[in-house]
Amino acid sequence: MPLAEIKVIEGVFSEAEKKLMIERVTDALVSIEGETLREKTVVIVEEVKSGGWGFGGKALSTEDVKKLRAGS
């Protein structure tokens, strides 16, 4: 049973965007593993609390990620 985990910071992506992530990641996996495993493929989108994720030694907030998404 294939499993993909996607972690995002809370409050950045809408429910529709998270649904789209699930659909497209499932499609990508099925393109490799075969259609017969579609119903067995699990995709989990987990939201991490604002400030609970960081890189380069800096914790990121929801607002930080929204700015990154906007290209600023």
- Looking at residue 72, its pLDDT comes to 76
What are the chain's domains? Answer: 3-70 (3.30.429.10)
Interacting residues of 47 by C-beta distance below 8 A, sequence separation 6+: 7, 8, 9, 10, 11
- pLDDT mean for each 10 residues of the chain (72 residues): 95 97 98 96 97 93 93 82
- Looking at residue 27, its pLDDT comes to 98
- Looking at residue 52, its pLDDT comes to 95
SS3 content of the chain, % helix, strand, coil (to 5): 45, 30, 25
pTM of the model: 0.87
